[in-house]
Amino acid sequence: MSTQVPETETETEPEPEPEPEAESEATDAPEAEDQDFGAETRRRAQAALEKADRTVELKVFRYDPEVPEKEEPRFDTFTVPFKKGMTVLDALMWARDSYDSSLTFRHSCRQAVCGSDALFVNGSQCLGCKTQVADLADKGIPKTVRIEPLPHAEVVKDLVVDLEHFYDQMEAVEPYFQDEDLPSGLNEQRQTRENREKIKMSTRCIWCSACMSSCNIAAGDNQYLGPAAINKAYRFAMDDREGEDLKEHRLNIIEQEHGVWRCQTQFSCTEVCPKDIPLTEHIQELKREAVKKNLKFW
């Protein structure tokens, strides 16, 4: 499903505490504990909001195909106390823990390493854990932060998208070292300093899929390998240790109909990559290598 929906907003506030029932008996212990936990959470959220110098409003895309009343896409607004140093992921976690435990998004490392929390924030792809809320606003004072799932991917629930297609494209370029000439015994397989320098940036990919989501070509051509997969092909094609035959094999893969020649040098992938990989540059270099391979007199 697409995230391009008319905005229907739901203001989400900490729910009022239920009135204590007179003479009610706690017959179900776990449920009673849950209620206590919920009430305590709401009390803490309210107190934090009252104490906060500043707050920020998160407008968060919501969609759950498994719950009839939530299968119509909408935006929920959560007010979150803003602290300097807070990331978009921190703010989302606060909203989830304080207002709605069903708010769904991926995250793991919280330090731009695992690549699981790529989101579409204020109209741009980024990692939630690497994006400071303050950086999204003029003069560091945030007002509203709009958070959506990555465009051009199927939404599974709320901010979670299906990355199966992205992984298939990565897999298509055989993203693993293949050696024709393994050294014997315990001998190391050395790489020159210069060659390591050449491929250094391409090795930084964390498979977040932000680049693929930002690419207009990938949006229009579902079979396009995409910037991340081509960068992965670059990482191995340019590694001197694999040898010329494997390099040719890799160039054949990226030269296919939906490979490098689809790229129109729009730089959107390079702009959003959270690891600063010069993706467009790598794609252009592979184009040059492919041409050289095909020119017999080169």
Q: Which residues bind ligand FES (CB under 6 A)?
A: 107-110, 112-117, 127, 129
Smaller CB separation from ligand FES, 79 or 214 = 214
Q: Should residue 208 be labelled a site residue for ligand SF4 when binding is judged by CB under 6 A?
A: yes
Out of ligand FES, ligand SF4, none, what residue 48 binds, judged by CB under 5 to 8 A for its kind, is none
Name the amino acid, one letter, at 223.
Q
Check: CB of residue 213 under 8 Å from CB of residue 150.
Answer: yes
Q: Should residue 153 be labelled a site residue for ligand SF4 when binding is judged by CB under 6 A?
A: no
Least separation in angstroms between CB 184 and ligand FES: 39
Q: Should residue 282 be labelled a site residue for ligand SF4 when binding is judged by CB under 6 A?
A: no
Least separation in angstroms between CB 129 and ligand FES: 3
Q: Should residue 201 be labelled a site residue for ligand SF4 when binding is judged by CB under 6 A?
A: no
> Which of these segments, 28-36, 189-197, 267-275, 285-293, binds ligand SF4 (CB under 6 A)?
267-275
Out of ligand SF4, ligand FES, none, what residue 275 binds, judged by CB under 5 to 8 A for its kind, is ligand SF4
Name the amino acid, one letter, at 68.
P
Least separation in angstroms between CB 92 and ligand FES: 11
Contact with ligand SF4 (CB under 6 A): which of 58, 95, 145, 277? 277
Name the amino acid, one letter, at 122.
N
Least separation in angstroms between CB 206 and ligand FES: 6
> Which of these segments, 40-48, 249-257, 273-281, 288-296, binds ligand SF4 (CB under 6 A)?
273-281
Least separation in angstroms between CB 239 and ligand FES: 25
Out of ligand FES, ligand SF4, none, what residue 211 binds, judged by CB under 5 to 8 A for its kind, is ligand SF4
CA dist 171 and 156 (Å) reads 22
User: Tokens 């998208």 identify what position?
Assistant: 161
Site map (CB under 6 A) of ligand SF4, residues 231-250, x = contact: x-------------------
Q: Should residue 207 be labelled a site residue for ligand SF4 when binding is judged by CB under 6 A?
A: yes
Closest CA to 10 of 52, 94, 98, 70: 70
**249-to-33, 205, 269 alpha-carbon distances in Å:** 61, 22, 25
Smaller CB separation from ligand SF4, 156 or 273 = 273
Out of ligand FES, ligand SF4, none, what residue 207 binds, judged by CB under 5 to 8 A for its kind, is ligand SF4
CA dist 3 and 161 (Å) reads 11
Least separation in angstroms between CB 113 and ligand FES: 5
